[in-house]
Chain A
């Protein structure tokens, strides 16, 4: 939750407003620990020069449709612009008020558009010391920060696990690497958005959306697309290309009908965080994470104990042999698609509720899910869960060392390194690698 920007003098002055804006975005998305809505929404920050000295009396303007507000930084360089509601704001710095000798490294930095989500607060800005580079992380290794990141990582890992379990179940039973699995998350989130905007409270809309998604986007997709393709004996490579085409189609259809601006659910949008010692968590995150953990545990127990669960594992192991012993393979695959789409829809609503709902939210998570699945072992359920938790923690903790904007890069590097040393993943079996 740290970030900052500095203004530097000298031959190549630069102005790290980019880092600062990224930090705002990251803080709003990740921390999301607002206080009660009554205290209002605000853009908050501090301007500091290259030597760390506060820049006083610099005037900043935030503008949006029907709203303009100009403030000046105080004696400590801090500024605070109260805004009426979340949305897009153009934040510009009046160059004339900057102290002599300080300019922008890029003229474009003078005015930037930023997205403020509902109820911000607690966006804390401290500043990078020493190291050059203008990264959005100010590495301060406080225990408070590490424990917050661990908790964030655990929650993020559970979220990834919801998607990764479905991805792995579908891969295990059909051999299909589904590049449109991210879109199952997005479709689930948008199903809930539609129900929510029709007037249903999210508490009611969410379970209904999960069921609708499981049937419509899971069972229906398998029935209309994948079952006929299996009957045609379409190869797996061709099928993977089809998943790409499907992903593009779904994504841009959602963009066409719902537009590009992020949406949020009408309930629980601006929740304040509960303090657990140094860690702040919103109640909705706790509820979602607990429910997600229950859903994942239930899936595991179902696979181990129930008849159809055992049949699923048999099909994953050897479809031909399973079929020969009288297991209805197509039925198992149908069930797996229903389950996978349901879990993915849940993950989508979770993501949409704690962050925001956009047309490409699932796509942005797809590669992280693949990293989790590859890490744990393609086709193994426990692997998906372990991999997801490891990747979730890794992504969050890596922001201690690398800029927040690059945290996905870290997870993807981790995946490639795992492939080099242990291609079957942590819990995978060697023969699966092929």
Chain B
């Protein structure tokens, strides 16, 4: 059994493109769920909007990537408005139901045969949609350290991705310690109290939904640019719940929560998968098949999500006093 391979894979993935995408989605959820208390169960819809904006505009319409990115962000704001207007005045569970439903509406529509000319049906959109970005790549060689192997393209995506995360984390930090941040935290703790102080909670909640959605959309854009392919079945609701697990792992309502969570989550997930794979290949485990590893990883995520929410909603390193989620 090649233990250093398992470790190398885990570290590479924990810092890799997928971790960046999920980290961005979880940062959005942190603003919505962690700070404002909005239960967005459809974060994957925002990622899908971002990824498909790139795919459709660059490949299907042949326009530039630099035009596609702002269009994707505008579409994301539009989606947040569509989701928020009917639901943000209602109780939390309505937003949860409508967001998860919308994420499925979007997935079913982009994978439908009727709209296949635009969205590519179940095969999705494939092509060099991120070429304009990769043309700017300043790196000339692949990286091959003992525990870290990236191609030149991945290295460029990872560099830009983590830089974006650093900028957004700084912005989040500035935002949540501003008066705006105090109001949204107030909404999370007791919306009636905030309303009685004359604040329009609806507007603040909408702003949090839009900002969090934009972060998810950036995640989707990174997805399309890095993987040069978008497929509808990448955008299942489970993506949202992986992001929730990441957020809770790192600690909701903590600025660095999503970063810590994403790195730990992907390290553990890849480590468990690769470790079991090697054990099975070496014949040390005989009661499992390689195809069983996928379900096992999902079961661990499910149990982790439940356990974290029940026992440590403040995350592994969080402070429970910071976060007292309202019962509404």
Interface secondary structure of B, over-half rule: helix
Interface residues of A in 160-215 (CB under 8 A from B): 177, 179
* Residues of A with C-beta under 8 A to B86: 416, 419-420, 423
Bound-state CA distance A249–B298 (Å) is: 7
Q: 9 shortest A-B CB distances, which residue pairs? A: A248-B302, A245-B305, A249-B302, A245-B306, A434-B91, A252-B298, A177-B93, A256-B295, A252-B295
Does B313 make an interface contact (CB < 8 A)? yes
* Inter-chain contacts of A255 with B (CB < 8 A): 295, 298
Contacting pair B328 A403 (CB below 8 A): no
Please name all residues of chain A whose beta carbon is closer than 8 Å to the beta carbon of B112 when the two chains form the complex: 403, 405-406
Contacts of B241 in A (CB 8 A): 244-245, 248
**Residues on the B chain within 8 Å of A247, using CB:** 302
Verify if A106 is at the interface (C-beta below 8 Å from B). Answer: yes
Tally A-B pairs: CB < 8 A.
Answer: 158
Question: Please, which residues of chain B bring their CB within 8 A of the CB of A396?
Answer: none
B326 within 8 A of A: yes
Contact with B along A387-430 (1 / 0, CB 8 A): 00000000000000011011011001101100110010000000
Q: Is A370 an interface residue (CB 8 A)?
A: yes
Specify which chain A residues have a CB less than 8 angstroms from the CB of B89 in the assembled complex.
Answer: 423
Q: In the complex, A255→B306 CA distance in Å? A: 19
Query: Of all chain B residues, which has the CB nearest A408?
Result: B108
Name the segment of A59-67, A72-80, A234-242 touching the other chain: A234-242
C-alpha spacing A246/B306, complex, angstroms: 7
Which residue of chain B is the closest to A423 with respect to CB atoms?
B90
Interface residues on A, range: 35 or more
Selected from A134, A246, A409, the residue in CB contact (under 8 A) with B116 is A134
**Are the CB atoms of B90 and A419 closer together than 8 Å?**
yes
- B-chain residues with CB within 8 Å of residue A409 when the two chains form the complex: 104-105, 108-109
Contact B303 A242 (CB under 8 A): no
How many Å from the CB of A428 to the closest CB on chain B?
Answer: 11
Q: A134-B116, A371-B101 are in contact. Are A256 and B299 (CB under 8 A)?
A: yes
25 contacts between A and B (CB under 8 A): A18-B121, A108-B123, A177-B96, A177-B97, A234-B310, A235-B326, A237-B92, A237-B325, A237-B327, A238-B310, A242-B306, A245-B306, A248-B305, A252-B296, A252-B299, A256-B292, A256-B299, A367-B100, A406-B108, A406-B109, A409-B105, A412-B101, A415-B97, A420-B86, A423-B86
14 further contact pairs, Cβ within 8 A, besides A242-B306, A248-B302, A409-B108: A22-B113, A179-B41, A232-B310, A238-B325, A244-B41, A245-B303, A252-B299, A371-B101, A374-B97, A406-B109, A413-B105, A419-B94, A419-B98, A434-B328
Contacts A419-B87, A423-B94 given; does A248 touch B238 at CB 8 Å: yes
- Taken residue by residue from 228 to 249, chain B's Cβ proximity to chain A (1 for < 8 Å, 0 otherwise) reads as 0000000000100100110010
Contacts of A416 in B (CB 8 A): 86, 98, 101-102
Cα A413 to Cα B301 with chains together (Å): 30
Measured between beta carbons, the chain A residues less than 8 angstroms from B121 are: 18
